[in-house]
Amino acid sequence: MKICCAKSLHVGFLTVLTVAGAAGAGFWAGRLGDRATAESAPLLSIDATGSAIGEEFSLATGPVSDDAEGVFVLDHATGLLQCNVLYPRTSQFGAAFQVNVKESLPGGGKNSKYLMVTGAARFGASSNRGGGNCVVYVLDQSSGAYACYGVPFNPSAVNSRTPQMGMLVPLAVGQARQALDRDALR
């Protein structure tokens, strides 16, 4: 009887080893296949923007063309909004645009607090509103007034490494605080 049980135990042990080995081989074959697929798959293009609001400066990024990204810096004390565009082939800032937001957002004083974000827009090369793919929005927190600016960026200048300078183009203004007209609500 001892021989019969020992033989069953050996058969069971070999069965478990075979199943475990097959499962392990299948797992590693799948992992190696996933790696080959991942290495041959095309990279995805991810458009991302970011922004940071500080007490004295605001910072945001946005794609001004398919190949170049701009960094927007707003000085809260002076109202100066700057956009510098990094040329990917030179790894240097090749374009600079600016505007004073206090011209579009009256009422901002020395201690103005602003919020700033970027957005996407395609105006086309023939537009006088800017050829870039990006707009920047600025909100004066004290008054609730906001403005949108276009970037007059020429994408073909990136390939020729031609420097660009100019003014950000004021596109539109709005007011976040709306006075209620009670008579119109009746």
Expressed as residue numbers, the domain containing 128 is 51-175
Task: Please check whether residues 117 and 32 belong to one and the same domain.
Answer: no
Q: Residue 34 domain-assigned?
A: yes
pLDDT in tens, the chain (186 residues): 455 554 554 444 444 444 445 544 454 455 454 444 444 444 434 344 566 667 889 999 999 988 889 999 999 989 999 999 999 888 899 999 999 999 988 766 666 789 999 998 876 554 455 567 889 999 998 888 999 999 999 888 888 889 999 999 999 999 987 766 666 666
What per-residue confidence (pLDDT) applies to 7? 53
What per-residue confidence (pLDDT) applies to 37? 43
How many folded domains does the chain comprise?
2
Q: Residue 6 domain-assigned?
A: yes
Task: Please check whether residues 83 and 169 belong to one and the same domain.
Answer: yes
**Cut 0.75: pTM above it:** no
Q: Residue 183 domain-assigned?
A: no
Q: Residue 159 domain-assigned?
A: yes
Q: Residue 182 domain-assigned?
A: no
Instruction: Please state, in angstroms and rounded to a whole number, the distance separating the CA atoms of residues 105 and 78.
Output: 12
What per-residue confidence (pLDDT) applies to 165? 95
What per-residue confidence (pLDDT) applies to 186? 64
Task: Please check whether residues 164 and 105 belong to one and the same domain.
Answer: yes
Task: Please check whether residues 79 and 168 belong to one and the same domain.
Answer: yes
